[in-house]
Amino acid sequence: MNHYTRLAWCLKREIFNFSKKICKGLRRPEQKLVSSLLYGIAESGSCHLSKIGRALKEQISLKKTIERLSRGLRNFSANERQQMLNNYTNTVKKHVDERTVFVIDGSDVTKPYSEKLEGLALVRDGSTGKLEKGYWTLEIAALTAKTKTPLPVYDRVYSTVENDFISEDEEVLTGLRYVSKTFGNQGVRALDRGYDALVYYEYFLNNREKFIIRTKTNRHVCFKGETRNILDVAKRFKGKYRIDFKDKKGKTISCKTTTIPVSLPKHPNISLNLVVVYGFGKDPMLLLTNLKTNDSRLSNTVAKVYLMRWRIEEYFRFKKQQYDFEDFRVRSLNSIRTLHRILTLLAGLIGLFSEKRDQSVFVMELIAVSQRIYRPNPEKAKRKFQHYAIGDGIFAVLRRCSVGIAAFFAKPELSNQLSFFPT
């Protein structure tokens, strides 16, 4: 058994065991479908069913494999998807504690040239800013306290033209309720200014959940008994504490922060903190939070926690670039949601690999196999977003296999030899 053969067998076993955990309570055909898709997406680096079918290397025609996968995705029910998500979040609960940051953000899936997909709506393409045909997505990821690895804990693909669509706020609240039900009020919720709305403040306050929300400059707050514009209040104070950040290009940005006690006009008796961060542009960055501490440097802590949310943008980019999700070729919205859920769970498995990369020889070998080796500064590489390296390592190992994952589903054959012992 050579190096790649051993790695491939260990990797298939990890995928199969992970599939068994998240498919607990599902029927055997659904379990086989999920395992096949997890393996096929990982091996092919694509969400295209024909590429997944080739990666499975089944002893039937490719056409029959694609038909089986397509039929399985189409018939996969919403309850079965929910059961998978529940099983998965039970496995990641041990990585969630009071220091966990839950990042809530939305994205888009654009299909500008599609005509026959179910429920196509107009969405704003995050890359170009143009309106295109496609779907909205909502995801919630838990940044682990140890390595700040994003572990997805909720995902949803939705269309604004569906009959049962209510509003974007209701979609977000549904995700928040799931996180609250699953993890309680542990951790801190971090949201961008697109979620600067009273409905979210009231949800967090009513459920006693800690939050950090970046506010818009037109918001009003209560300051010293008067209702004032939040930007006018912020500009009355200079930064009291200094802190340095590094942007995505590695450039150091020197910032100054300060904390101002305020409240919302509709809830004047509930004290909040306005954290003002100078240094990222002409206007200061405004963060509204209910975090409280005796430490005078609360503003620095809040700024650090909020800026961690850029990792979910890396996570979105990883799913689109590494596995080319926007190139899917299934038509029904139910199939799209099932495929997206399975891709999210695969990203969760890679996140779990990344979380234990310093303790697992198996994960370190996967990274070593990858072409994304950070030779100049290995210590710096440990702090980088490792999903690409692990995903490339998985692809490099599995593409050398001559068989897929079907052997793990084969039942042991009974021997035809006559036995004299009672059974």
Residue type at position 309: R
Contact yes or no for 364/374 (Cβ under 8 A):
no
Q: Rounded to whole angstroms, how far apart are CA atoms 205 and 290?
A: 8
Phi, psi (rounded to 5 degrees) for 371 = -80, -10
Q: Rounded to whole angstroms, how far apart are CA atoms 123 and 107?
A: 9
Element (H, E) at 168: helix 168-183
Q: Which of 284, 264, 283 is nearest to 272 (CA)?
A: 264
Q: Rounded to whole angstroms, how far apart are CA atoms 231 and 216?
A: 9
SS3 for 258? strand
CB-based contacts of 9, cutoff 8 Å, min separation 6: 1
Q: Is beta strand 101-110 parallel, antiparallel or unpaired with respect to 252-264?
A: unpaired
pTM, rounded to two decimals: 0.89
The residues with which 273 forms a beta bridge, in sequence order, are 261, 289
Element (H, E) at 6: helix 3-22
Contact yes or no for 25/37 (Cβ under 8 A):
no
Per-residue pLDDT for the chain (423 aa), expressed as one digit of tens each?
456 788 889 899 999 999 999 999 999 999 999 999 999 999 999 999 999 999 999 989 999 999 999 999 999 999 999 999 999 999 999 999 999 999 999 999 999 988 889 999 999 987 788 899 999 999 999 998 778 889 999 999 999 999 999 999 999 999 999 999 999 999 999 999 999 999 999 999 999 999 999 999 999 999 988 999 999 999 888 888 888 887 666 678 888 899 999 999 999 999 999 999 998 878 899 999 999 877 767 888 898 888 888 888 888 888 888 898 888 889 999 999 999 999 999 999 999 998 887 777 888 888 887 765 444 444 444 445 688 888 888 998 888 888 888 888 766 554 455 444 454
Q: Which fold has domain 94-312?
A: Transposase Inhibitor Protein From Tn5; Chain A, domain 1 (3.90.350)
SS3 for 135? strand
